[in-house]
Amino acid sequence: MQVSDFDYVLPEQLIAQFPLEVRGASRLLHVAGNDLDDTLFCELPRFLCAGDLLVFNDTRVIKARLFGKKESGGQIEALIERVLDTHCALAHVRASKAPKPGTKLIFADKWPAEMVERRGDLFLLRFAGADNVLDILDAAGQLPLPPYITHTPDDEDAQRYQTVYARDPGAVAAPTAGLHFTDAMLDKVRAMGVNTAFVTLHVGAGTFQPVRVESIAEHTMHHERYTIPVSTETLIRATREAGGRVVAVGTTSLRALEAASQNGLLADLEGDTDIFITPGYEFKVVDRLITNFHLPKSTLLMLVAAFAGYDTIMAAYRHAIAQEYRFFSYGDAMLLEKQV
């Protein structure tokens, strides 16, 4: 298939620039083949049954964007892609001239670092001093909102661009399907007998990278780190054995589960994945998917087309645009049934 097969025209006013005033007040489009059901996210429990399993990504978004300067005085911006240890991180760097190995940097006029080496498109930065990289980011970093959100991050974003169950810091983008869930919603579905489990996949900035080739077979995916607890593996196996449905909350949860199952059901409970899911992929774990609406020509649009069916997804997107759903990270949600 071609990248152009996944294009669509989105009116700019449908790109959600801010979250709704109340978390969880979004709309929900239930997509089951040709059947499209317009409802509200608060109605999600009526689509679930006792014995189903919701799998969430508990990654926590870090304040990954740092501003500073070279020792020579030139301005520099770093977007931390992955924290490697207490003092080292891989980053995307913007500067008038790319820093060479050995270049001294200082961020926020306080924290020194050195550019150690290039690793492909990324720069290895080593921060000096006793402070942990995550502590530096928390003190001096800026929340890395997606490029289509045009306002400067504020205190509301710090709360709302984070799931209520976020625990493990490391993501540079939120697992946005989870932004709709409230503690009250989690309590309600658990009271129904719906089980919940967690994986961790630290979402990288590559999630926003455009596909720069026309044939999707030629696209190279970015890498992301995932971990699946043994307790989650146990719940998934028990759910499948009992005839329940595994519901991935977000494409990142789905990617973690499917990546872990390339060598057999949940055979690899941690690792780096560059799994690229496109139409024709045979899903091994996930039965249903809760997700937001995705960018035109994006790898995530290709993923949901693989899950629900290409024609089904493109029809659902046309419907959502006609019904003026809110799109992307702060937008509305979909509940997708896997095509059979």
**For residues 301 and 6, is the Cβ–Cβ distance under 8 A?**
yes
The pTM assigned to this predicted structure is 0.94
* Residue 150 confidence (pLDDT): 95
- Distance in angstroms (rounded) separating the CA atoms of residues 326 and 303: 20
| pLDDT greater than 80 at residue 49 | yes
Closest CA to 198 of 243, 236, 172: 236
> For the chain, first and last CA: distance in Å?
20
| pLDDT for position 204 | 84
- pLDDT bin (cut points 50, 70, 90) of residue 198 is very high
Task: Classify residue 257 by burial, with Cβ atoms within 10 Å: 0-12, 13-18, 19+.
Answer: buried
Amino acid 234: pLDDT? 97
Give percent above pLDDT 90 in the chain. Answer: 91
What are 299-320's pLDDT values in tens digits? Answer: 999 999 999 999 999 999 999 9
218 vs 200: CA distance, rounded Å:
28
Which residues, in sequence order, are CB contacts of 231 under 8 Å at separation 6+?
A: 197
Are 222 and 207 within 8 A, CB to CB? yes
User: Cβ distance 269 to 233 under 8 Å?
Assistant: yes
Looking at domain 65-140, its CATH architecture is: Beta Barrel (2.40)
Mean per-residue pLDDT, 137-164? 95
Task: List pLDDT tens digits, range 275-303.
Answer: 999 999 999 999 999 999 999 999 999 99
Mean of the per-residue pLDDT values for the chain?
95
Query: How many of the other CB atoms lie within 10 Å of CB of 264?
Result: 9
Torsion, Cα of 66, 70, 76, 80 (10° steps): -40
**Which CATH topology does 3-61+156-337 take?**
QueA-like (3.40.1780)
Mean pLDDT along residues 20-40: 97
pLDDT band at 88 (very low <50, low <70, confident <90, very high): very high
Question: What is the chain's alpha carbon radius of gyration, rounded to the nearest angstrom?
Answer: 20
Distance CA 255, CA 257 (A): 6
pLDDT tops 80 at residue 119: yes
Average the pLDDT over 68-90 and give the result: 94
Q: What pLDDT was estimated at residue 210?
A: 74
Residue 174 has pLDDT above 90, yes or no: yes
Asked if 119 and 89 count as a contact pair (C-beta separation under 8 A), the reply is: no
User: Would you state the torsion angle of the CA atoms of residues 292, 298, 300, 306, taken in this order, to the nearest 10 degrees?
Assistant: 120
Three-state secondary structure call for residue 79: strand
Per-residue pLDDT at 141: 96
CA distance 118 to 111: 21
pLDDT at residue 323 in the model: 98
Report the helix count and the strand count for the chain, using DSSP H and E: 7, 17
Strands 246-249 and 288-292: parallel
Please give the average per-residue pLDDT across 172-188, as a whole number.
Answer: 97
The domain locations on the chain are 3-61+156-337, 65-140
Residue 185 has pLDDT above 80, yes or no: yes
Query: 50-73 pLDDT, tens per residue?
Result: 999 999 999 999 999 999 999 888
